[in-house]
Amino acid sequence: MATQTMNRQFRLKRRPAGKIRAEDFDFVESPVPAIGPGEVLFSVLYLSMEPIYRLWLTDTDHDLPPVAIGDVVRGVGLARVVASNNDNWKVGDLGSGMFGWQDYAVPPPPALARVARFPANLPVPLRSLMGVCGSTGFCAYFGLLDIGKPKENETVLVSAAAGAVGSVAGQIAKIKGARVVGIAGGPEKCRVLREEFGFDAAIDYKRTDWREQLAAATPNGIDVNFENVGGEIMNAVLERMNKGGRVVLCGLISSYNDGARESGHLQALGNLLPVFTRRLTMQGFVFTDYAPRFGEAAKQLATWVSEGKIKDRDTVVVGLENAVDALNQQFDGGNIGKLVVEISAP
Amino acid sequence: MATQTMNRQFRLKRRPAGKIRAEDFDFVESPVPAIGPGEVLFSVLYLSMEPIYRLWLTDTDHDLPPVAIGDVVRGVGLARVVASNNDNWKVGDLGSGMFGWQDYAVPPPPALARVARFPANLPVPLRSLMGVCGSTGFCAYFGLLDIGKPKENETVLVSAAAGAVGSVAGQIAKIKGARVVGIAGGPEKCRVLREEFGFDAAIDYKRTDWREQLAAATPNGIDVNFENVGGEIMNAVLERMNKGGRVVLCGLISSYNDGARESGHLQALGNLLPVFTRRLTMQGFVFTDYAPRFGEAAKQLATWVSEGKIKDRDTVVVGLENAVDALNQQFDGGNIGKLVVEISAP
C-alpha cells in the first residue's frame, strides 16, 4: 500500500495561555515509524476537533492526565491500518481512537486495546464515523438519554446547540417528544436550529436581550439542561430549571481558554444555589465511559439518520497543518455541526 | 389547659442585607387566636434553627416562595395541641411542622395537613424530635444514604461537620464502614469530631494550612462530599473527588448572607469543571421530599441512638426573643450539634 515516508506531528512546546497559537507547538517531521512485534501502523484519515482538547493542554489532570511538554498532541481520529504485526488488525481495517495530531500513529498496547474497530463497507460517509455515528453522536445519545432522561412534553434546553453534539442532542430530544430550545450565536445558526434541526425555539446569545428570549422560549421552565458551555448563560438557565430537573454536563467550553483560576487551577464557576433548592441532579460524563454500549448507540443513530430524523451537518478543514485554527474555531462558534480536519484523503 | 393569653410573633419588616438584625423584624404581641371550625391551636415548644431560613427572607423563590413583608417568619417547630376543632388532632398531641417564629400557631388547612404527628410517650427527649430523630436526622439519613450512597472503605467528606446535620451524616457514614473526614472551625470542634463523633480525621478550616490538611486527610481522594457550606473550601474538595463520586448538596450556607449576585439573584458559585471531568453526580435535596419515608428514618435513627452508634448533641437557646441571635449563630459556627430555641417549657 502506497504511503508517505514522512510523518508530521504537532508536539506540545509550552502550555498555552488563552487560545492556542502556532507558537505553542513544534510542527515536526520524522520518518514514519517501523512497527515491531504486535504493533500496528495507522494512517490517520480524519482528526475529530473537540473543545476538550484545550483542557488536556493545561497542567492539571482533568478527565485525563495533561499532555506532557514534548509529546504529540492528544486527539481522537479515524484511521486505517497500513501495516500490521498484530492478528487483531489487518491492513485496511478502520478504527477510531486516540491517534493524536499526526499523519501516522503506532499506538502503544493500552491505547491499541482501546481503538474501536468499524465494520467494513458501512453505508455512511467515513466522516460520519467521527460525527453522528461516532464520538459526537455517542456524547449526545448517552448524555441525553441516560442522564437527561427527557419525558414527553418536557422542556430540554441545549447550549452550543448548533455545534456537533448539541445539534444531535436536540434532535434526539425531539424524537423523544420533548419541547426543544437551543442556544446559539447569530441569526443564521438560530435559523438552522429551527428550520433544519427542527428545534421548537432558538435563542441568539449574541443579542443583548438573551435573558428575555430565554424566558419567552421556556414558559414552563426547563426540565433538562444539556450543557456544553457554562458561564453566565448557564447560570441563568439553572435559575429557570424546574424542581427535579436534570443537568447533563457535556462540556464547559466557556472556561477552557480563560476560566477563573484558584490556586493555579482552572475553574468553571456555576451557580449551585438552584441545584440545591430546586433539587436538581447535575452529572458529568465522558462518552468513553459507555464504550460497552457503543454498538447499540451506533445502530440507533444510523437508523435515525437513514430515516431522516437526524440531520447530519459537518465542516471539513483540509490539512493537518490547519489544526490549530480549527480548534480555535470551536470556541469562536465559527462552524455548524461537526468539525473535522482531513489529514489524508480516504 | 392553662395557656398564656398573648401570642408573640416575629414579622418580617424588611429584607435583611447580610446577617439578619432585630431591626429587620417587628416583634409584636397579639391575643392568642380563637379557632374556627376544623382548626387546631398549637403551642410551640421548640423552634428548630436552620440556616435555610435566611434564604426564605430574600426576595427570590428558592425551595419555597419568599416570606412576604409583614408575614410571620417561617420556621420549623415542635408544638403541642392546646385546642382543637379537628377530629384528627386532640389536645396534647405533638406535631412538627412550619409553625413559624411565634408562641402559638393555627396552621391553615394545607399547612395543617403537612404537620407530622409524633406518637405519645416516645423514649427520647422531646428536643430530639427536632434533632437526630426529626428534620436534622432526616436530612443526614436521606442525603447520605439515597444520594451519597457510601460504600465500605470509601472516603466521605462532610463540611460543617460539627453542625446538626453534618455530625449525624458523618456518624451514619461511619456505621456504613466509610472513612469519614469532617471539616469544622477550631480545635475544640475538631476534637469533638474525632473523639465524640468517631470521625477518622478532622480539618480545621480556620487554620491557614487547610488545603494541606485536606490533602493529608484524604490520601485516596474523596468519593462522597456531603456538602453544607459551599464556597472556596468546597471547590478544593471537588478537585479531590474521585471519578464517579457523589456530591450531596444539603446546604450552601456560605452564600446565604452574602453570596455573589447576578442580575439581583443570589449565587453560590461552585467549580463545575471537576463535576464534568470527574463524572461526578451532584444532587440537591430537601428532606421534605422524603416525607413518605420519615417513619423508616425515625425508627432507624432512634435505634442507632439507643445503641450508642449516634451521639446526639444539641444547644438550647431559651426564649423566642433570642431567635435572631440564634439564627446568626448558625453562620458564625457558634454551636456544636443541633441548635433549638425553647419557646415554651414542655
Q: Which of B53, B212, B271, B278 to mutate to test the interface with A (most CBs of A within 10 A)?
A: B271
The reply to whether residue B259 touches residue A273, judged by beta carbons under 8 angstroms, is yes
pTM of the model: 0.91
pLDDT at res. B263: 67
Could you say which of B55, B252, B278 has the minimum Cβ distance to residue A272? B252
B117 and B141 inside one domain: no
Q: Which residue has the higher pLDDT, B60 or A204?
A: A204
Q: Touching check for B235 and chain A: CB below 8 Å? A: yes
A271 lies in some domain: yes
Q: Touching check for A264 and chain B: CB below 8 Å? A: no
CA distance A66 to chain B (A): 13
**Residues of chain B contacting A265 with CB distance shorter than 8 Å:** 239, 271
B300 lies in some domain: no
A171 lies in some domain: yes
Q: How far apart are CA A58 and CA A230, in angstroms?
A: 18
The reply to whether residue B268 touches residue A284, judged by beta carbons under 8 angstroms, is no
Q: What is the pLDDT along chain A (346 residues), one digit of tens a residue?
A: 445 789 999 999 999 999 999 999 999 999 999 999 999 999 999 999 999 999 999 988 888 899 999 999 999 999 999 999 999 999 999 999 999 999 999 999 999 998 988 876 667 788 888 889 888 999 999 999 999 999 999 999 999 999 999 999 999 999 999 999 999 999 999 999 999 999 999 999 999 999 999 999 999 999 999 999 999 999 999 999 999 999 999 999 988 887 667 666 788 999 999 999 999 999 999 888 888 898 889 889 989 998 999 998 888 999 999 999 999 998 888 788 999 999 997 7
Q: What distance lies between CA B195 and its chain's CA centroid?
A: 23
A94 lies in some domain: yes
Q: Touching check for A265 and chain B: CB below 8 Å? A: yes
A169 and A242 inside one domain: yes
B159 and B106 inside one domain: no
A268 and A320 inside one domain: no
A113 and A146 inside one domain: no
B150 and B123 inside one domain: no
B301 lies in some domain: no
A82 and A197 inside one domain: no
CA angle at residue B39 from B33 to B41, to 5 degrees? 50
**Residues of chain B contacting A259 with CB distance shorter than 8 Å:** 273
pLDDT at res. B1: 43
For B260, the closest chain A residue by CA position comes to A271
The CATH number of whichever domain residue B156 belongs to comes to 3.40.50.720
When pLDDT is cut at 50, 70 and 90, the band that residue B46 belongs to is: very high
B107 and B36 inside one domain: yes
**Residues of chain A contacting B250 with CB distance shorter than 8 Å:** 276
Stretch B257-274: mean pLDDT, rounded?
Answer: 82
Q: Touching check for B263 and chain A: CB below 8 Å? A: yes
Question: Is residue B341 helix, strand or coil?
Answer: strand
Domain carrying residue A105: 6-130+313-342
Q: In sequence order, which residues have a C-beta less than 8 Å from that of residue A30 and are 6 or more positions away?
A: A6, A7, A9
Give the strand pairing for A179-184 and A155-158. Answer: parallel
Could you say which of B271, B273, B284 has the minimum Cβ distance to residue A276? B284
A113 and A225 inside one domain: no
A294 lies in some domain: no
The mean pLDDT value of chain B amounts to 92
CA angle at residue A184 from A183 to A186, to 5 degrees? 135
CA distance A150 to chain B (A): 17
pLDDT at res. A191: 97
- How many folded domains does chain B comprise? 2
pLDDT digits (tens, 9 = 90+) for B129-151: 888 988 899 999 999 999 999 99
A295 lies in some domain: no
A139 and A120 inside one domain: no
B64 and B141 inside one domain: no
Is the per-residue pLDDT at B3 higher than 70? no
pLDDT at res. A1: 43
The reply to whether residue A283 touches residue B278, judged by beta carbons under 8 angstroms, is no
Amino acid at A34: A
pLDDT digits (tens, 9 = 90+) for B83-105: 999 999 999 999 999 999 999 99
A32 and A164 inside one domain: no
**Residues of chain B contacting A267 with CB distance shorter than 8 Å:** 235, 271, 273
The mean pLDDT value of chain A amounts to 92
Stretch B314-328: mean pLDDT, rounded?
Answer: 94
pLDDT at res. B2: 44
Q: Touching check for A280 and chain B: CB below 8 Å? A: yes
B122: left (phi over 0), alpha (psi -120 to 50) or beta: beta
Q: Touching check for A291 and chain B: CB below 8 Å? A: no
A300 lies in some domain: no
What is the ipTM metric for this complex? 0.90
When pLDDT is cut at 50, 70 and 90, the band that residue B283 belongs to is: very high
Stretch B188-208: mean pLDDT, rounded?
Answer: 97
Is the per-residue pLDDT at B291 higher than 90? no
Q: Which residue has the higher pLDDT, B62 or B269?
A: B269
CA distance A264 to chain B (A): 11
Q: Which residue has the higher pLDDT, B262 or A16?
A: A16
DSSP, residue by residue, A67-80: PPTTSBPP--EEEE
Is the per-residue pLDDT at B53 higher than 70? yes
The CATH number of whichever domain residue A322 belongs to comes to 3.90.180.10
Q: How far apart are CA B50 and CA A257, in angstroms?
A: 40
